[in-house]
A = this chain, B = another copy of it.
């Protein structure tokens, strides 16, 4: 059994890790880290786990934890892991970091968009960007540090990746209009996230300056083979879970539905967790809820020579905890879908 520690176990992503790992046949959680709720019973914080988890919350001493577990998931605020990570820790354990600390290779870019100084840039190069469908080959039993992709990012990238990679769209025309459920905002007690503020409303936020922008640009830039600049606009939707990305780009040449479909299939036909929907079917976040799937599809607009791409995932699963477990499976040589055969829950 893989011994697992979670730092930030009382955030929504942390709790989702618990939900998934409780049914993982090869892993057991031995450390529920939560500085805010230290010494409190974990199931008192998340009563869905009553009689399922019998443990108290522990602190965030990474050095101690690293000696006790095979892998640590850090579902922590930006800057936490960068501030405490040491070579010593990485010698003792693997880390899957759900924060942004090691996602962006260029430190200056990280520091500009996040507005904080990176405390341990020396580990950035080593970190593997854990978008499994693209970087699977880089993740193996010797890998020590995974930068688990952001929720918006995972959705945005996977939706457009095949077309960027194959040069079918001009990446500098890419516009990503994304819509997220409210769990993406976390469990912090803030007025704008109150039920009455979110319910019966929709709004954009972080317009032109959301932190997932450079992450999308970097990864799709690799696919494009050049630096790119995109527009990314997130929106808050009155629902708990789910991200839908609607993406627009100009086609580089005249293509048919079948040609584009073939390109998507080239990359995704054998991917368990990416489902290219049948022609004419638009992804709905509900169809992937609770599962590790990303559903994608597209419509060509001959009138404007653009293509509209759409992708949907559950922000807490494929957008966070599910992908983190997928990475863990790769790190330990397990089948990639171990513990992830989650059937979407409808309605």
Write the residues of chain A forming the contact surface with B, with a CB cutoff of 8 angstroms: 12, 15, 19, 22-23, 44, 46-52, 172, 175, 177, 179, 181-183, 187, 189-191, 193-205, 207-208, 229-231, 233, 235, 237-242, 244, 246, 248, 275, 277-278, 281-291, 295, 299-301, 303-304, 306, 308, 310, 312, 341, 343-347
Known A246-B233, A347-B200; judge A195-B238 contact (CB<8 A): yes
Q: Which B-chain residue is minimally distant from A345 (CB atoms)?
A: B290
CA distance A61 to B219 in the complex (A): 54
B residues within 8 A CB of A289?
A: 48, 200-201
B residues within 8 A CB of A343?
A: 19, 22-23, 48-49, 52
Q: Are B199 and A239 in contact (CB under 8 A)?
A: yes
CA distance A190 to B194 in the complex (A): 8
Count chain B CB atoms within 10 A of each CB in A283, A303, A347 and give the residue with the most. A347
B residues within 8 A CB of A304?
A: 172, 229-231
CA distance A203 to B283 in the complex (A): 6
Q: Which B-chain residue is minimally distant from A198 (CB atoms)?
A: B195
B residues within 8 A CB of A300?
A: 208
What is the distance, in angstroms, from A250's C-beta to the closest C-beta of chain B? 9
Q: Are B285 and A12 in contact (CB under 8 A)?
A: no
B residues within 8 A CB of A181?
A: 200
CA distance A295 to B208 in the complex (A): 19
Q: Are B240 and A199 in contact (CB under 8 A)?
A: yes
What is the distance, in angstroms, from A44's C-beta to the closest C-beta of chain B? 8
B residues within 8 A CB of A285?
A: 200-203
Q: Are B345 and A201 in contact (CB under 8 A)?
A: no
Report 21 cross-chain contacts, Cβ distance below 8 Å, ordered by A residue. Answer: A48-B288, A50-B295, A175-B248, A177-B248, A182-B196, A194-B194, A199-B347, A200-B200, A200-B242, A200-B347, A201-B239, A201-B287, A203-B244, A203-B282, A204-B308, A207-B310, A208-B299, A229-B303, A237-B238, A241-B347, A290-B290
Known A191-B187, A208-B308, A308-B231; judge A50-B244 contact (CB<8 A): no
Q: Are B246 and A177 in contact (CB under 8 A)?
A: yes
B residues within 8 A CB of A275?
A: 50-51
The 7 closest A-B pairs by CB, nearest first: A201-B286, A48-B344, A196-B347, A203-B284, A177-B177, A195-B198, A208-B301
Q: Are A199 and B199 in contact (CB under 8 A)?
A: yes
B residues within 8 A CB of A182?
A: 194-196, 199
Known A241-B200, A244-B204; judge A15-B47 contact (CB<8 A): no
Known A179-B202, A195-B238, A199-B239; judge A308-B347 contact (CB<8 A): no
Given contact pairs A183-B347, A290-B345, a sample of 17 additional A-B residue pairs in the complex whose CB atoms are under 8 Å apart:
A19-B345, A48-B286, A50-B278, A177-B248, A179-B202, A181-B200, A187-B196, A195-B197, A197-B286, A200-B239, A202-B242, A204-B283, A233-B308, A238-B239, A241-B347, A248-B248, A290-B290
